[in-house]
Amino acid sequence: MGKIGIIGVGQSAFVRGYPGSIRELAFDGFKECMQDAGITTKDIDASIICSAPEYDKQRSAAGVFAEYLGLVPQPTFYLESLCSSSSTGLKVAYSLVKSGLHDVVAVIGFQKMSEISSAESQERMGRGADIQWESPFGTMMPAYYAMYARAHMAEYGTTPEDLARIRVKAATYGQINEKAVYRKGVTFEMFSDPESPMSNPVASPLRVGDCCANADGSSCVIVANEEKAKAFCKKPIWILGVGAASTAVNLPGRDLFTGLTVAQQAGEQAYKMAGVTAKDIDVAEVHDCFTIAEMMAYENLGFAKPGEGKDLIKSKETYKEGSIPVNVDGGLLSKGHPIGATGGSQIRTIVLQLRGEAGGWPIPRNPFTALPRMLQTRRPSGGFSLQKKGGQAALSLSLSRLLRYWMNMSITSRRLPCS
């Protein structure tokens, strides 16, 4: 089979309380994606609907969405892998097209977190852990990441101030991202100001400013085979390689607490398949549900040696003017985290960067290589890497899937001659 390309991307605005139904929410991201791709619903052979169903009141949303979006009688599939749902959806879409079973597949991610209360949301997040051996003891996502933060601090001397710098960077770009929930500036001083909500403790050493917020939102990515991609799109982003790994669900079964070995393993697979290294990456999207998650991503993906991620953010190397810009759309810390839509949003950002269409947050140089990494904990996870050359872009995603709520997604991209 030939190359597989991304021909359209879109997302809704991420908001704290979407007033419409989930099908209307999904339509917002789908509409932008269809306009971006310049195709009609008749051109789509199949759809994959992605969300974390424990947050949805609608059971089996795939059929409802396919009908509402005009994607019947084409087959539709429902896919769930928590925070990595729409990232995994892209991997499955790639496989469906690569196999020849379908020519064009739409991946639609959504979540309306406001349908349930914060207490209900926390309870559901807790059940992402092992319900026999961990979640009954009160473990929640902030607590898990706090343990990783503590381990990183003990091993490498990382400080809460280092983590605060990541949030300040996120807010720098979140202010100019019209799709983001949190569009206010954050200063370093807010983390030491007892009057600022940013300094309020959540799970030591993590504070409010170290944590992303829930949100309502949708995203959409359309994948096509080489023939269709060239016919429909002037700048297809080619998927060149994938990587995946898994690890123990329970934290006691992990072999590392200062990072994610599966992220490293999946990234290495994707780099090898794409024929690049971490040094070739020009821009990255990583899953910064907590500031420590971004810090670990720097190291797991090879942008910094273990323990030296803090040096990248101190020297502003992960700002858009730096050597490896990371999350220059504001990341989850500014955009918010509508679970099923997050991966698609990250992919959208990378695609826009590679096309040179990133609006107010492009990196100064034309990116050759980009990497989105969607982080989830405790479920298998995967990755992709993006490549772009000449007038076309090529995408290969390196996803790392981890058994629990993290999913890591890496995308590497490099310029390829037009063909």
Which residues are known catalytic residues? 83, 337
Give the list of residues 6+ apart from residue 364 with CB closer than 8 angstroms, or none. 320, 321
Residue 155, both tokens: 């091993």
Instruction: Compute the half-sphere exposure of residue 216: CA atoms within 13 Å on the CB side of its CA.
Output: 21
Q: How far apart are the first and last CA of the chain?
A: 15
- Residues 380, 402: Cα–Cα separation, whole Å: 4
On the 0-12 / 13-18 / 19+ scale of CB atoms within 10 A, 42 is exposed
The helix/strand/coil state of 222 is strand
Strand (E) or helix (H) holding 343: helix 342-355
The helix/strand/coil state of 390 is coil
Pairing of strands 4-11, 216-225: antiparallel
Which one, of 126, 197, 121, 210, lies nearest residue 160 by Cα? 210
The helix/strand/coil state of 330 is coil
Pairing of strands 369-373, 376-389: antiparallel
Q: Measure Cα distances from 281 to 113, 277, 376 in Å.
A: 33, 7, 22
On the 0-12 / 13-18 / 19+ scale of CB atoms within 10 A, 184 is exposed
